Structure 1
């Protein structure tokens, strides 16, 4: 039978104690530590008996939970790990664990073709790859894009629960253009990932304009469970991104048709990997180039995408975007001209 929650709390507490080399732990010390932990996490104030802790130590030493903890007694009364580097949290997965995980992954795989589970595909692939590499002791064969040094990721879970529980948050936030950080109360509604960066959508307490804030620009965050929460009536997350490339849509922005000519050598790539879901082929030209059209809100992220194809794409319309791209590309070319002189 799996260990219950209280037992797991005791095992973790004993593990933390025995990993502390700067204190000598008697059985009574471990009893007190477990009692304190159960009171803190579960509100249980009955205390722990000596027999309970002795049985916990025996269980941790055994193979039943896969711990095989090297707990030894020295000087006839003090407990410690014989291996000072040991911890139950570092216990490798055993064959039964891997078998159970494999079965769980197999069940999840059955749902991959259903529309409601399509977003789980990469998660299932990660689990499959992890279980396979652990069982076969081979290197993974899938490497997902990640940026472990990105700031703000530690706020993800806090913001997620604030949204679910409808709690406002107080932020200290500094945008890229601001000289200093501003503090304000924010009502969060949606977390969104774009190109390995995370953003939170919501409104400030002092205004009613939808904003998206980059998590890596947050300097501090505090959840305000007692503060009144204003529910989302500002946008529909199910349709908000239909006409967007990226995450930015200013108030009042409307989608417009954007036409562009793609050179022959870039055409196959952009046709098979559309810039936006609305992309349509308008015309194939005799030199192999193509004219494509999308219907989107023109924003900073769309400009960035086009800049990535600077010599392979020519914007045809709307005129405002043609002029903007022309000015920026001219300034960019001038920098290289100046440097080469």
Structure 2
């Protein structure tokens, strides 16, 4: 371990000497090295300036004849250290400074997920990246993601990711909302997050189709002692292209759904499209069209825009949405118990 830490100290110093955008004094270099050592080995592992200078001397001995480590004065009293060749690094085959900065920014964005109870695997990955490249993520939290740490399925996420990546069939006890628990044998293929929930997709042989399971509905699971059936038919990079959400309707083709918006709601929809196929209807400033397979998630999206949205077409989908609206109105206005599925008749009853 000590040899690895020594090598990493050299990596940290090498990055500083290669960095043309910052000026690192001896104090700055000491802070950089100790910051990393503190994270890896704790507060008792920090070094003093004398030890740091030994590592700087070691790096000087590693340099080729055409490169030297400069000590340049700045800020009146201080000196900063930098390689004479701005393109040089001891680890020329490693990542560039710009790539390191990009990786560091990515790690900083992932910080909110590190302490999540589901993300032990993510913590391990980030820690290895920080150690391998001498990175230290910003301790100040400047990014917040809409994650739901109380989501029931999080406790299963890490293990299910591992089993899916390792092609391990699973015996899953699954309980859909309002139904009895059932046992399924699943060959897991893909995991997708939508609206702060996680979903597992895999082949269920007894049904001979791809099944979608919400992780918060999985009550328990174990590895099944059967050969894994690989996915040879579905390209998951394209599988969700024609839908909103995660539910892919069977035996359905994508079709144009035209929606009309009222008030200022259209500006919101234009800035945050419902689907990647979204376009404004030519000649209709208040209408958009999306080409999708209608599913329950699309209905939920439409209802979230009420009362500022109207389904224009197709007619069958307009009627389906209107029926749901009428059913909802009955919960608020008892007089609507007399309504039929005809929205216009309901309006007449209201006027009376």
Q: For this structure pair, what is the TM-score category when the shorter chain's length is used for normalisation?
A: 0.5 to 0.7
Q: CA RMSD in A?
A: 3.4
Q: Is the 8 A contact 2:173 2:182 kept in 1?
A: yes
Looking at structure 1, the residues matched to 308 and 39 of structure 2 have their Cα atoms a distance apart, in angstroms, of 63
Q: Which residue of 2 aligns with 1:300?
A: 296
Q: 1:328 aligns with which of 324, 330, 352?
A: 324
Q: Which residue of 1 aligns with 2:239?
A: 240
Q: Is the 8 A contact 1:210 1:251 kept in 2?
A: no
Equivalent positions of 1:112-127 (< 5 A) are 124-127=108-111
Q: Which residue of 2 aligns with 1:117?
A: none
Q: Is the 8 A contact 2:108 2:138 kept in 1?
A: no
1:129/1:104 CA distance change after superposition, 3 Å: farther
Equivalent positions of 1:1-341 (< 5 A) are 1-2=1-2, 65-66=41-42, 68=44, 107-110=99-102, 124-127=108-111, 134=139, 140-178=141-179, 180-224=180-224, 226-283=225-282, 285=284, 290-338=286-334
Q: Is the 8 A contact 1:129 1:142 kept in 2?
A: no
Q: Is the 8 A contact 1:209 1:251 kept in 2?
A: no
Looking at structure 1, the residues matched to 281 and 215 of structure 2 have their Cα atoms a distance apart, in angstroms, of 39
Q: Is the 8 A contact 2:174 2:218 kept in 1?
A: yes
Q: Is the 8 A contact 1:129 1:141 kept in 2?
A: no
Q: What displacement does 1:160 show? A: 1.4
Looking at structure 1, the residues matched to 42 and 170 of structure 2 have their Cα atoms a distance apart, in angstroms, of 41
TM-score, reference length from structure 1 = 0.61
Q: What displacement does 1:172 show? A: 0.6
In the comparison of the two structures, how many residue pairs are matched?
Answer: 234
Looking at structure 1, the residues matched to 106 and 307 of structure 2 have their Cα atoms a distance apart, in angstroms, of 33
Q: What displacement does 1:106 show? A: 6.3
Q: What displacement does 1:316 show? A: 0.7
TM-score, reference length from structure 2 = 0.59
After TM superposition, what 4+ stretches of structure 1 lie above 2 angstroms from structure 2?
1-4, 62-69, 103-112, 121-134
Q: What displacement does 1:283 show? A: 3.8
Q: What displacement does 1:253 show? A: 2.2
The CA deviation string for residues 244-298 of structure 1, in whole angstroms up to 9 with x for no partner, is 100001222221110011113111111111100000111455xxx5111000010
Gaps of 5+ in 2: 5-37, 46-94, 115-135, 337-352
Looking at structure 2, the residues matched to 108 and 241 of structure 1 have their Cα atoms a distance apart, in angstroms, of 33
Looking at structure 2, the residues matched to 338 and 314 of structure 1 have their Cα atoms a distance apart, in angstroms, of 24
Gaps of 5+ in 1: 5-61, 70-102, 113-120
State the SS of the aligned residue for 1:332: helix
Looking at structure 2, the residues matched to 160 and 149 of structure 1 have their Cα atoms a distance apart, in angstroms, of 19
Q: What displacement does 1:149 show? A: 1.0
1:3/1:274 CA distance change after superposition, 3 Å: same
Looking at structure 2, the residues matched to 260 and 64 of structure 1 have their Cα atoms a distance apart, in angstroms, of 55
Q: Is the 8 A contact 1:105 1:128 kept in 2?
A: no
Looking at structure 1, the residues matched to 215 and 196 of structure 2 have their Cα atoms a distance apart, in angstroms, of 11
